[in-house]
Amino acid sequence: MRALLVVAHGSRRAESNDEVRALTRQIRELKTGDYEYIDCAFLELAEPSIPDGIRQCLDRGVNEVTVLPYFLSAGRHVNEDIPELVKAARAEYPGAKLTLAPHLGTASSLAQLMLDLTEY
Amino acid sequence: MRALLVVAHGSRRAESNDEVRALTRQIRELKTGDYEYIDCAFLELAEPSIPDGIRQCLDRGVNEVTVLPYFLSAGRHVNEDIPELVKAARAEYPGAKLTLAPHLGTASSLAQLMLDLTEY
């Protein structure tokens, strides 16, 4: 049983957090069968937090959680904060397999996706 | 003659700005012939500014510039700041056609791209 946890920065603007939740629903609708549970969590300013999001995945009975950062840039959040939270969760749940996926900004198809946006 | 101007927030971290410049180079390499000139500009904290970026496009002799926001969320920058800069540029260069493309966060293929990132 595997879970996918989309993690975003979080915003004081409720609409920004709802955009992340909407994207998570879209990913859920694409669900290929790899993940029994797909949800999102926020680094700050919105709920659930990343530790709570990981716990909620494990509470569903999954034993693998892939953490997927919805961040464009490899700043402190991507390079330090999120890896530290994943490391802490690994220590807290030694029976679970927690994987950190590359962040959105590394996607090789981002250039084509940007170009496609201009054909509207 | 058309130009594409990728606009990003800009960061105090030089590497983050360089990531935007690298993405711009990748878009340039994909160039389909729609754009004679492809460059990037920053809302703040990095150079060139968006007004300077637009001016540099027009200095190249293009008469159409598509401004493409590299932003995930429709916050104040996407909804207000960037449209205001484009509006001001339209007033300054009445002979040019300035178009504002949808921001990255609206791309319908973002969900699939995120899911693809977990298969690494």
Coil, strand, or helix at residue B5? strand
Q: What is the mean pLDDT of residues B82-90?
A: 98
B91 CB within 8 Å of a chain A CB = no
Report the number of distinct structural domains present in chain A: 1
Question: Could you give the angle at the alpha carbon of B103 between the alpha carbons of A104 and A23, nearest 5°?
Answer: 50
Does the distance separating the beta carbons of B120 and A104 come in below 8 Å? no
Query: What is the chain A residue with the closest CA to B19?
Result: A73
Say what the pLDDT of residue B79 is: 94
Q: Which residues between 36 and 55 in chain A have a beta carbon less than 8 angstroms from any beta carbon of chain B?
A: none
The enclosing H or E element of B36 equals none
Write out A7-68 in H/E/C secondary structure: EECCCCCHHHHHHHHHHHHHHHHHCCCCCCEEEEEECCCCCCEHHHHHHHHHHCCCCEEEEE
pLDDT range class, residue A33, cuts 50, 70, 90: confident
Average pLDDT of chain B is 94
Say what the pLDDT of residue B31 is: 67
Q: What is the mean pLDDT of residues B37-66?
A: 96
Model confidence at A120: pLDDT above 90: no
CB of B37 closer than 8 Å to CB of B57: yes
> In this predicted structure, which of A26-40, A83-97, B71-85 has the lowest mean pLDDT?
A26-40
Q: What is the CATH number of the domain that holds B95?
A: 3.40.50.1400
A79 CB within 8 Å of a chain B CB = no
Q: What is the mean pLDDT of residues A28-54?
A: 93
Question: Taking Cα atoms as reference points, which of A10, A14, A62 lies closest to residue A38?
Answer: A62
Q: What is the predicted ipTM?
A: 0.91
Tell me which residue range forms the domain holding A63. 2-117
Say what the pLDDT of residue B57 is: 96
pLDDT in tens, B28-42: 999 677 899 999 999
Say what the pLDDT of residue B103 is: 96
Does the distance separating the beta carbons of B13 and A114 come in below 8 Å? no
CB of A35 closer than 8 Å to CB of A3: yes
pLDDT in tens, A71-103: 999 889 999 999 999 999 999 999 999 999 999
Q: How far apart are CA B14 and CA A86, in angstroms?
A: 26
Residues of chain B neighbouring A104 (CB-CB closer than 8 A): 72, 113-114, 117
B64 CB within 8 Å of a chain A CB = no
Residue of B27, B71, B118 to mutate, testing the A interface (most A Cβ within 10 Å of its Cβ): B118
